[in-house]
Structure formats: C-alpha cells, structure tokens
Chain A
Amino acid sequence: MSAHDRLALGTRSMNAALVVSALVSACAAQDVRVVNLIPPALSAERYHNGEPHLAVNPRNNQQIAVSASWTHDTFCSDDAVSVLFASNDEGVTWNAVCELSHTAASWPRDLTLAFSGDGTNLFAGYLVKLPPPPATPTAPWLWHAYFAATNNFLAPVPMTVLHTRANVDQPYLQAPTQDLQRALVIGVNDATMTGGTGSTACNSGAVYMIADALVPSTLAPFCISQRFTMGATPAVRTASHASGLTYAVFYRPLSPDPLRKDVIVVRRSTFTPGPFADLKDLPALPTLDPCTSRDGQIGYRVARCRPVPLGPDGDPWFGQERRVSSNLSIAVSPVSATTVYVAWADSIDDNHQTLHVRKSINAGATWSTDLITVPNATNPALAVDQDGTVGFLYQQVSGELLYSRWETRLELSDDDFRTRKSFELANTPALAPPYAWPTAAYAPYIGDYVHLTAVNRTFYGVFSASNDVAKVVFPYGATFQRTVVAGQLQDGLGGVVEPSLDPYFFSVKKPGPPTLYATPPE
C-alpha cells in the first residue's frame, strides 16, 4: 500500500459491534464521516495534536479549516509559520497548509478559528509566548494573543496578524457578520483587566468586541463579571446570533474556595457598544447563602457553587487528561436568538467530572434544570442546526486505568434530550500513547476543548484521540489519510511510526433537503 492509499478502519470489537447494532435503527438515515487529518505526506508525523478547533465556511460548506495545538514542525519556513488543516471538499480530503504566522520562539496554542459570517475571511485566534524586552532579559515570558486573517485559507500564504494583546489566555474566537460588518467576538482571560487575576469584581474574564475585524485596532476588553471573583476566569466562551445578540458563559471562582464556582451567562448586543449588562440574575431571595439564594445582579447564575477542581496533567485515572475550568460551551439556535444552550463540567457527583447541559428559551432570563448529564467526561461542545436540533459532543472515559478508553460521542436531539440519537464516533485507548516524553508529555493530553458547529442540516466537529491503529475502534468507520499498513502507522517506505495523538474531523449529515435562511427567523 502506498503513502497515498487510504484505509477505512471499521468496527473491530464485540463491544463496538454491539454499539453499532444498537445505533443502526436510530442512525441509519444519517451520513457519518470520520477522517484522520494527518495527510499522506506527513505520514512520519508523531506529534501531539491535541485541542483541535474547526471552522466551516457558512456560505460554502465545502471549505473547512481545522487547527490543533502543537502541529509544530519544521516543515514550514523558518519556524515562524505553522500549518492549518484545510479541506475544499467538505472534509473528504485534507491538506496541511503553511499559513499560521507566529514567532520562531513559540509555537501557537489555544487556537480557535472562525469564518466571517459572509464567508470571505478565515480568522484565527491563538497564543504565542514571547520573550521579555532586552532591558529585562530574565523577566518571565508573556503570553500574547494573536488574531490573524486570510481571504484564501487554501493558499500557503502566512495569515496577516491584525490584532495582538499581551498577557492574556484562551482567546476564543467568533466572527459574526451583519450588514457587511465583519466583527470579531473574542472571549478571553485578560490578566491586564482591572484587578488582573486577583480577587476583585472585574476580574480577568473579558470579551473583545472588534467592529471591523480587518482593520487593526486596539483591543478593548469588556469586563463580564460584576460580582466579586476570587481569581482568574480562565475560559470565556461566546455565542453570537446573526440577529445581533451575543452571549458569553464563564466560571466565577468563589471566595474563600476558588475551586467552587458559579456558571454564569451574560448577554449584550453584538454591534452596539456597551457592557455585558443585558441579563440579570433573578431577584434576591431572603437568605444569606449565595449557593441557594439569588442576588439580582448582572449575569444569570445557571449553576451555583459547583466544585470544579483542577486536576494534574497526565491523570491516569482520567484518561491522562487534566481537569481545568475551561469545560464550557454555549450555543444559540439559528432559528431563535432567544433559545440558548450551555454546557459545563463540575464534580458535584461521585465521579471524576460530570458534564451538564441546560437550556433557556427566553434569552437567558431563566434556565432549565439539567437536560442531560454525562459522568466521567470532558470537552463539551454544543451546536444547533437550522432545524433547531441541538448537538452535544463530548469525550468520556470508560474502563479503569490500563483498560481505560476515550469514547468520543455526539448526541443529537430535537426534544431537549428526552430522546436522542447517539453517535459513538471513536473509541480509542486512553493510555496509548503513554503520557511520557517525547511522544506525549504535552499537557493537556487530548486537549482542553473540542469543537462542534452546524451548517444547514449537517453537524461538523473535530476532536483529538489516539492514532494507535491496532487499538482504535470507529463504529462508523474512519478514513486515515496517513499511511497505515498491516495495522501499523508507517512512514511511507516501510518504517514504523510510533502512535501519537491526531486530530479527527467528523460530519453527521441529517437527511432531507437543507432549508436556507437568508435572515434567521425570530
């Protein structure tokens, strides 16, 4: 088999076979595609491609871009450009394109991607770590967020870096468009905010609202927490509706124990300047316990006083993955700007980490109880398609220690998860590759996030998992672009390549003709 051949890996275990048979009736009508993104020419690749993100051109769903942390290599020029994965055939085939600009000293990480709403530009937000100025050579290196753009993501031309900001973490990018206005909405952990990462009301949780994404600008952070916050807000996730509403969700660390957190949703107009002040908690109740009372302040507390522990890197009891406060997702229905879903992780139950999904049908004014919970899981990602079907992607640990595996699963529901269609996209070993240098000592192991989005009636997503082809199971099959021969990764000329972590693209296409909304209905 040559380097250009592809291998479709099918179901190869009794358990997986049972899963498939159970799903056949529910999923027969769906078209499921899973693709390992490493191209044939990089078949010798053995890097740690965790924490992937994805963007689908909303005006041309043939065009899809994927990023993954630590796709670092010297393939591109002079170490200052890295690859994005690009597809021009709706994810059937992928190329690694040298276009992500960074610095020679630092590889990009915490990457997120977004196409502008009009489909004309691909934006990337990511971190690089830059050295201190020469005058203070021993000062710590600082994270810098870069925001870059290209109007041809298929071409190997370095993206133009339009906006930067120092001392920030986890830029999370969206690019809504209205009346030809290309905006960027970026959730971020900005340590330069008033109070920085200290204990204050306006802590590091912020959102940058850039009115014209293609014009270099000074990034103005909007503080998103009006309550006293015990330390940093590491992850802020946003969801913008085409009608002009933007939601954000974040964890609020509590005093005196910052490992207990509220999950808070805020809202504002996307295109009208102003703070995230459009959403308040319910009026205060006559109790002093903030965990049971309401307070009437800005920001609805969807969950209160939840334990959200930090876990160590390489935790063998949790599939070598760590637990951090970035397991957040928020999605607004394209059908209605007032229908919003949030997902978060906490450890309120008797397992490593539980995922929760809740819903609001009144623009965040009130929220449901849990629609679904998933134990021993991480990386929640939500999306809603044009029919209002909600998709919920996550990765769940099953088995114990040496037998533990990551199950990557997509749930689709039209009735708030009272019934759902469940797609086990991948069942992969959690300890292969081992968390050991040099193949996989990077933290986090599979990454702190995955991504899911929907265009028309198709859900598109990306996740990272082991490529140990002797041990992986894909109940719906998977296409490996990289060379696989006789159950082994190979480099193209017969050399065996060690297992590592790869990004996987998937799409789940619902049946029926798409309904296109020129203007999303309200």
Chain B
Amino acid sequence: MTSILKFAGTGCLTLAMGCARAPAPPVTTTVAAAPPVVPVSALSVVVAAPDSVMLRIAKTTTLAFVGTLRARDSVTMPIIPAAPNIWVVHVDTVLLSPESVGRFRGTDVTVQTHDSTSLAVGGTAVYFTHGLIAGTSLYVEEVGRFPLTSPGDSAGIGKVYSRFFVADSANTDDKLRPYLVNAAAVVIGTVVQIDSATSADSAAWLAADEGEPQWRRATVQTSGYFRGDSATTSPVLRVLFPGTAPAALRAVPPLRGGDRRVFAVRPAASVVNATFRATSSSYPYAVLYAFDVLPAADSVRVFRLTR
C-alpha cells in the first residue's frame, strides 16, 4: 500500500502572506505507507492488538502499581468504613500515577477489591485501580489484578504492563480519532511567528463567552499534511490558539515559536467568537482542544488514524 503525501516547500508562499522572499514550489512526493516525517514516539509504534479484558481495565485505570497484600478487611484511613473485601496493600513499585498524587511507593494504600479469594496475605500482584479518596493515604478501587511471584518479578510485571500499554494506547486512539477525523485539516509544521496580543484582543475577549480563552495568532510553516484540501494545506497556515486556558475544557497549551507539532485545525468560526474573528480574518483556523495539537513524534500514530 502506498499513500500520497504532499509536501510544501520550506519557503513562504506569497508576499501577500507577509513573506519576504519568493516561495518554493509545492512538492508532491509518493512515499510508502509511513510518512517521511518519522520521529517516532514510543506510543506511536504500538501495533499489537489489545485484548478485551485489558481494554476494559485500561479504560478506568488511573493508578497502577505492584503491591504486596498486608492485611484483609483493614483500612489505612478512618474515613473508609471497614467492610469485607477491603485490603491494605503495600506499594512496592508505581507503574502509573496521576500527576497530583504524591509519590506513594513504599506506602500502604487501601484497595477496594472485588475478588477477595485469589491472593494470600503476603502475596504480590500488579494492581490496576482508580482513585476513590485521597487523604493521609490513598483509597483506590481495583479494576484488575494480576498475581506475581514476587515484587521483583520483572518478567511478570513486563508481561502484564505491556498488555496494559497496548490497551491504553488503543483507548487513546479512540479518544484521538474523532479530533483528527473531524478536523478541517491535519498538518505537521513549525510555529514560525506568534503575534503580540493587542488591546483590541482584550476587548474582543471581554465581548466573548467567559468560557473562551484569550485567543492568540500563530503562523505555522507546514511541511506536510495528513488530511485536508488545497484550501487548508498551504505552506503557511495561520491559526488561532488559546493564550489562556478555557476553564472547563482540556485545552491545548499555548504555542511557542519553534514548536514543531501536528496540528488538527478546525474552522475558527466553530470555536472563536465573532468579535475576535472580525479582527483576525486572515486566520481562518483554530486549535483549541488538547488533542488538536500533538507532538511531532506522534506523526506515525496520526498517519495511522487518519487513513
């Protein structure tokens, strides 16, 4: 299977776009299935098929660790009512943890289990869990458990976690795909210019839904695209991006000059207020959501998901 990727030249297209020199002509190249922009991230190379059990586990897991069962029917915090199937587990190794959770390796946590018979006190397992209460310690609910021979059973840990890794990547693909499929264009390029905010920009923000960010303007020098048509894939793409985080949304962090990224752009009219658009008519596209801008290293994954 082959695909056609069209690569623009590295120069600017027209003087009207503010470029100081003549543009390089667009280049059409026929390449093999993988695009030539291939700084491949670890996540991008996952190709194994996930199993259904691990897909379910990965969907609800927020903390994963290797732990040793200390005691049954016991708790680490008084707020947790004592009940059957609640264990105290010593955390030997942390495999996955939310950013906010302090490093809890070496501590005891309370685990709400749903299968209390398959592990003896002193037994070790990989626990896949999600949080219930954070206090002086953690209270988590188990969504999957895989016994190990010992806390140092690295082969067992690796086997289980690689299955989880495949499943988690597949779940992320499912979240990412709609953003890519519904984008006006998906391109890879480098931020070459960010305009300074003006007083008119502040005025436009004041007229907007307070849930909107304060928008900024960026010029992206594109070097290839995954989706789009001629209207969206010029060598220079002008996009609006959030200069602040809209509070309720998972928004993309503000862009910076020199950022090389994959951009899934959407019509500015779909997310940017009319007042700001009126002052930014040469910026027809916008990025807003966290999945709208990805590391360039994810280009293989993007390529796969946009086929």
Contact = CB atoms under 8 A, between A and B. Distances in A.
Nearest to A136: B270
Contacts of A482: 102
Which of B59, B209, B243 gathers most chain A CB within 10 Å?
B209
A312 B102 contact: no
A425 B175 CA distance: 44
B136 A129 contact: no
Nearest to B212: A140
Interface stretch (B16-24, B37-45, B47-55, B248-256): B248-256
Interface string A61-78: 000000001100111111
Given A105-B250, A443-B247, A44 B99 contact: yes
Given A39-B136, A437-B253, A95 B247 contact: no
Contacts of B105: 493
Interface string A10-31: 0000000000000000000000
B58 to A, nearest CB: 10
Interface in A473-514: 482-483, 491-493, 495
B200 interface: no
B95 to A, nearest CB: 14
B85 interface: no
A98 interface: yes
B307 to A, nearest CB: 21
Contact of B79 (A74, A95, A105): A95
A40 B103 CA distance: 10
Interface string A280-293: 00000000000000
Interface in A304-343: 310, 312-314, 324
Contacts of A106: 248-249
Interface stretch (B127-135, B147-155, B156-164, B219-227): B127-135
Interface stretch (B3-11, B137-145, B293-301): B137-145
Contacts of B166: none
Contacts, number: 158
A44 B100 contact: yes
Contacts of B104: 41, 492
B132 to A, nearest CB: 4
A88 B80 CA distance: 12
Given A44-B99, A492-B103, A109 B130 contact: no
A41 B206 contact: no
Contact of A313 (B130, B136, B209, B244): B244
Interface string A96-130: 11100000011111000000000000000001110
Given A310-B206, A437-B254, A43 B247 contact: no
B77 interface: yes
Contacts of B243: 441
Nearest to A197: B209
Given A43-B102, A44-B103, A77-B60, A83 B248 contact: no
A129 B211 contact: yes
A271 interface: no
Contacts of B133: 95-98, 156
B202 interface: yes
Interface string A119-163: 000000001110000000111110100000000001010000000
Interface in B253-269: 253-254, 266-267, 269
Contact of A42 (B132, B134, B182): B134
A127 B101 CA distance: 25
Which of B136, B141, B182, B210 has the most chain A CB atoms inside 10 A of its CB?
B210
Contact of B210 (A42, A94, A324, A491): A324
A442 interface: yes
A3 interface: yes
B165 interface: no
A93 interface: yes
Given A41-B136, A442-B247, 19 more contacts: A44-B100, A46-B99, A46-B100, A75-B101, A77-B130, A78-B130, A83-B134, A88-B79, A95-B77, A96-B133, A98-B131, A106-B248, A107-B249, A138-B267, A156-B133, A437-B254, A443-B214, A443-B247, A483-B102
9 contacts: A41-B136, A75-B98, A77-B130, A140-B271, A143-B209, A234-B210, A312-B202, A313-B214, A442-B247
